[in-house]
Structure 1
Amino acid sequence: MLFSSSVFIFLFLPVSFFGYFLLNNRRLIAAGKCWLVACSLFFYGYWDVNYIPLLLGSIFFNFIVGGAVSPFTKGTRLGISRKMLLGMAIAVNLAFLGYYKYTNFFIENFNELTGTELTFKNIVLPLGISFYTFTQIAFLVDSFRGQAKEYDFINYALFVTFFPHLIAGPILHHKEMMSQFKSKWTWAVRYRNIFMGLFIFSIGLFKKVIIADNFAIYADAGFTPGAQHDFISSWATSLSYTFQLYFDFSGYCDMAIGAALLFNIWLPLNFNSPYKSLDIQDFWRRWHITLGRYLRDYIYIPLGGNRCSNARVYFNLFITFVLGGLWHGASWMFVIWGVLHGGALVIHRWWKKRGYNMPKSLAWFVTFMFVNIAWVFFRAHSLADAQRILYGMVDIGSLYSVTIEQAPTKMIAWSGTLGDSLATYLPVSVVANFVCLLLIIAGFIMTPFKNAYEMTIASGSYLAKTAWMTILFIIAVYATIQSTSTVFLYFNF
């Protein structure tokens, strides 16, 4: 069930909302929370009911261990130290994540290195396992440190399963959510939150189905394994994916925050105009903020952070982002992407320590171009495919090698939100020009204006915001009904 689907918007979300506040209105607070947990499990099981037991088992296991490792409880520790129990629990979580996410990858690489043909059943990655596993590992560590002090099972189950964040984040901290779930302020309908929630949800929905899904048309075609590229198609392909991923993930985050606000819950900001960044460090303060926070708090700092020698700090930065790349998926392409970002952060730190600077416009251009190039490795199916696109991006001579007569012979299937209505085939040259226009529009949307969160909390006329919300919502819903939308990109991670 997608946030952008008619079933979610017109059936699941209203039923969940009215059922929750109806129970709260009758002072059945615990029943209301159980209702939300049940709705969230239904939302998860809508994809594949077979993985609900895995999710529930993870919740029970981590809740029990979280109490046992806490300095504030007297849970049984089986005669072992809290630290050892914490290590064992983290190992169990990582073992399950590793089995489902990396077993196939390990077998494939083992066969390639040894020349064997070892076979293993193809393991399907359970939806959202990376996010709910990382969320609960954070809970275990926070419990051990004494930062998680509230151990109500219903609240904990809601903390893990709450449907706006369950599938693709944000990665939550126990302490930032439990106070909200306990607060009486969240039990009653808050019309201001409903308005803000619907406003930011509508912006996110528009980003997803109108912008991201249309960039996906050319990005998917351009990243087809073995596709050949010239200068124009290479740039159109790379920039299409760069903007597709931006609006897809940004749209998801907006819809997650908006849906949660309907229930008076504020999820942490996870996306803050990252393509406005003037350096790579600023980019990671803005892109997938909760993942960056997680990598900092649970990998970078435990490795020693910046409290070491310069060489060790550089190593800590580098290895943190290599692991961050691997977290995204079982592929060497993700590792390469992590290596690039780790290396860029090392260079940036070295650059800043020497007091070097560059003009803001140049700093933005260098940062954006690096991010765009790195996304090529993130999206490409193989190193050879990535190299073809990167070579095309510098192959200026190819601009003069495609004649008007040759262009129509290179055809591309147009599908997706606009494509379903067009139902036709267009030559690459026409598509490229159309995509370039979209890229220019997207650049103007992203760079100078406020993002969805800033527009939501900004003062202004409710009438004007309502009008904008209505227009965006109607357009996006119409597009959703007319097309077969793909899933959000981060569902794959």
Structure 2
Amino acid sequence: MPDDKSVVASQPVVRRQECRRSLMLFNSYTFLLVFLPIALIGWQALKRAPFRVVLGWLVLVSLVYYGVWNPDPEKPWSPKYILLILGSCTANYYLGRTLSRRPKEDSDESPQAGPGQRNAPAPHAKLLLIAGVAANLALLGYYKYAGFLGGILNSATGWPASVPDIVLPLAISFFTFLQIAYLVDAYRGETEEYHFTDYLLFVTFFPHLIAGPLIHHREMMPQFRQTRQGWHRDFPVALGMFLMGLFKKVVIADNLARIATPIFGLAAEDGRDPTMVEAWVGAVAFALQLYFDFSGYSDMALGSARLFGIRFPLNFHSPYKADSIVEFWRRWHMTLSRFLRDYLYIPLGGNRKGPSRRYVNLFLTMLLGGIWHGAGWTFIIWGALHGIFLCVNHAWFGLRKKLAWRAMPKPLAIALTFIAVLVGWVFFRAHDFESAGRLLASMFGLHGFGGWPDKAARVVASAEPLKLIPVLIGVWLLPNTQEIFARYRPALRVAGAPYPAGGTRRWWQWRPTKAFAAATVLLAIATGLQFDKVSEFIYFQF
């Protein structure tokens, strides 16, 4: 996440390329050949050391991973971003400890409280929580949204005269959400007395720090105490998952970008409108690029954490196989969906206050989820669209149940869901609202029903769009990484989502055999042959 999308759009392209070179990406030689081996060797060498020393090593390498980032490599490296994340962690940790001790220290015995019941929290504890959450949101708001809001004010009123160029610190969206969840749980009395090293590792552990998953303290803290057990069994599984993710990113996602990027660029220019076929090819290419980019990152995050004996919660589970928008959000960015549900939708009232309020809460939750993804109108529209989609989906479920209608055929439901998601992705990817409108107008025939253009007018090579067909078939028909590695419990289950699920063992599921070892080697060779550049992950922008 070297820059917020709206900020990047207003800067020269070279700035974005500089940010890529100054970030230790999972798909970079620096990470694969230098950082990760050193981290693993040091971790193994310290396995007989005291427990706190081992955790201290993981904290140190995670801070190095974070600290390598420099938003402008032509200027001297500055420690201010390391100090920012350390300051945030320190303040939230001690505030969380204060809130978690509150039930015993702040409340008097209440005659109304029955055996085993906790007394109502003291008023000043709630004020502390509000202040802590507000401070976290203010920090995030300044870095991520001040430029966007300043631009709106400048357009509307002429003030401020100049909008400051604010660089978005790496991972601030993710570590802010993690710590808000920790504060809320501490206020509810659902946290333990964690050591500061535990907490610091929970927030900064490098496999999840940059783009998730959004882990939970209850999932991670117990695992940090057991990281030295069974490493020899974890390594082959971890390596296989990591290589599969690297293959998805380097071989599939990056090649799809060569189709999507020029077509979205064409929609943003003042020249001709994309033809109908071009528009659909561009939209589908980006949908698949994002799918394999995020799926690949998620696999690499799971794999790199498993190298250290840590299992992350599942964050991605074949979302384009979803037969409804509700199901889509149970499969796409699952830990973000969990956070929005537990810390936004339910506190707003969830579905407990009637259907009308439920729809309002759904819409607001998704709108704020869109705003979280980036400071720009396209993200706001994307979030609002998914809020509307979810409301319509729940209303349809209710009507079907009331009238006892049968569900539509699953292939048709999957196709309709995919088209709805595709429309949303156009706004998510577009340079601005106008270019999104142009591309959608071409997709739905408002600019005519033109096919693939003549060779002189093409913005992508003639044969490349054919690559979309086997990729789509793979997305809909082939098993995903979690299903392939299901025998070895590759990820933790996320509450509210029935994945990963148990089931019959299949011949194609990974096992430590010579055949699967050979397949892993072939995967590594295929990836190496395409490893000619370093490209950032799409979710690093958020």
Q: Same fold (TM over 0.5)?
A: yes
User: Residues 402 and 261 of structure 1: is their aligned pair in 2 closer, same or farther, counting only changes over 3 Å?
Assistant: closer
Q: In 2 relative to 1, CA 98–397 (structure 1 residues): closer, same or farther, beyond 3 Å?
A: closer
Q: For residue 416 of structure 2, what is the aligned residue in structure 1?
A: 366
In the other structure, the counterpart of 1:420 is none
How many Å apart are 1:388 and its aligned residue? 1.1
Q: Which residue of 2 aligns with 1:114?
A: 157
**How far did residue 222 of structure 1 move?**
1.4
Alpha-carbon distance change, 277 to 402 in structure 1, aligned in 2, over 3 angstroms: closer
- Name the structure 2 match of 1:491: 540
Aligned counterparts of 2:364 and 2:399: Cα–Cα separation in 1: 23
CA 1:479–1:76: 2 relative to 1, 3 Å:
farther
| 1:454 maps to amino acid | E
Give the aligned partner of residue 349 of structure 2. 304
Instruction: Choose the corresponding residue for 2:133, options 90, 109, 113.
Output: 90
1:323-358 deviation line (CA, Å, top 9, x unaligned): 000000000110100111000100011111112531
Query: CA RMSD, aligned part only?
Result: 2.0
Work out whether residues 300 and 316 of structure 1, in 8 Å CA contact, stay in contact via their aligned partners in 2. Answer: yes
What's the offset of the Cα at 1:22?
1.0
TM-score (norm 2): 0.83
Matches within 5 A, 1:297-336: 297-336=342-381
Q: Give the letter for the 1:380 counterpart.
A: A
Verify: 1:220 aligned to 2:250, yes or no: no
Partner residue in 2 for 1:415: none
Counterpart Cα distance in 2 of 1:335 and 1:69: 34
**Is 1:207 matched with 2:248?**
yes
Could you tell me which residue of structure 1 aligns to residue 96 of structure 2? 66
2:275·2:450 contact (CA, 8 Å) conserved in 1? no
Residue 31 (structure 1) aligned to one of 41, 48, 53: 53
For 1:117 and 1:148, the matched residues in 2 are separated by 43
Instruction: Using the TM superposition, give the Cα deviation of residue 363 of structure 1 relative to its aligned residue in structure 2, in angstroms.
Output: 0.5
Instruction: Determine helix, strand or coil for the equivalent of 2:194.
Output: coil
C-alpha distance in structure 2 between counterparts of 1:74 and 1:157, whole Å: 25
Unpaired stretches in structure 2, ≥5 consecutive residues:
1-23, 71-78, 108-121, 488-508
Is the alpha carbon distance of 1:130 and 1:76 closer, same or farther for their aligned partners in structure 2, counting shifts above 3 Å?
farther
Tell me the TM-score normalised to structure 1 length. Answer: 0.91
Shift of 1:83: 1.2
Cα shift readout 1:383-437 (whole Å, capped 9, x = no counterpart): 110111111112298555777xxx232254xxxxxxxxxxxxxxx4x34x422x2
Q: Does residue 295 of the first structure (1) align with residue 328 of the second (2)?
A: no
Residues in 1 aligned to 2:106 and 2:353: alpha-carbon distance in whole angstroms: 37
Give the equivalent residue in structure 2 for 1:41: 63
Describe the superposition over 1:192-228 as per-residue Cα deviations: whole angstroms up to 9, x where unpaired: 2111100000110000011111111121111112263
The reply to whether residue 182 of structure 1 matches residue 225 of structure 2 is: yes
Contact 1:336–1:377 (CA<8 Å) still a contact in 2? Answer: yes
| 1:19 counterpart (25, 35, 42) | 42
Kindly state the Cα deviation for residue 72 of structure 1 after the two structures are TM-superposed: 6.7
2:118 corresponds in structure 1 to: none
Q: CA distance change for structure 1 residues 75 and 4 in 2, over 3 Å: closer, same or farther?
A: farther
Structure 2 equivalent of residue 382 of structure 1: 432
Going from structure 1 to structure 2, the CA distance change for 1:461 and 1:161 (only over 3 Å counts) comes to: closer
Does the C-alpha gap of structure 1 residues 254 and 488 become closer, same or farther in structure 2, counting only changes over 3 Å? same
- Equivalent position amino acid for 1:46 in 2: V
Q: Does 1:236 align with 2:281?
A: yes
* SS of the residue 1:354 aligns to: helix
Q: Find the aligned partners of 1:245 and 1:76 in 2 and give their Cα distance.
A: 49
1:116 CA drift (Å)? 4.2
Cα distance in 1, alignment partners of residues 67 and 525 from structure 2: 28
Deviation at 1:457, TM superposition (A): 2.2
Matches within 5 A, 1:49-448: 49-71=79-101, 81-116=124-159, 118-183=161-226, 186-188=227-229, 190-224=231-265, 225-226=268-269, 228-355=273-400, 356=405, 357-395=407-445, 398=448, 407-410=454-457, 412=459, 428=460, 430-431=461-462, 433-435=463-465, 437-448=466-477
Choose 345-354 or 144-153, whichever is displaced more.
Answer: 144-153
2:522 matches 1:468: no
Distance in structure 2 (CA, Å) of the matches to 1:216 and 1:175: 37
* AA matched with 2:228: W
Distance 2:138 2:210 in 1: 20
Distance in 2 of aligned mates of 1:126 and 1:53? 11
Q: What displacement does 1:374 show?
A: 0.8
- One-letter amino acid of the structure 2 residue matched with residue 344 of structure 1: F
Matches of 2:69 and 2:536 in 1, distance apart?
11
Q: Is the 8 A contact 1:337 1:374 kept in 2?
A: yes
Give % identity. 45
Within the alignment, does 1:477 sit opposite 2:500 as a pair?
A: no
- Structure 2 match to 1:4: 27
**Structure 1 residues 41 and 333: alpha-carbon distance in aligned structure 2, compared to 1, 3 A threshold:** same
Secondary structure (helix, strand or coil) at the match of 1:447 reads: helix
Structure 1 residue matching 2:166: 3-state secondary structure: coil
Aligned partners of 2:185, 2:335: CA distance in 1, in Å?
15
Instruction: Please give the alpha-carbon distance, in whole angstroms, between the structure 2 residues aligned to 1:320 and 1:454.
Output: 30
Task: Kindly indicate whether the alpha-carbon contact (under 8 Å) linking 1:150 and 1:178 is maintained by their aligned counterparts in 2.
Answer: no
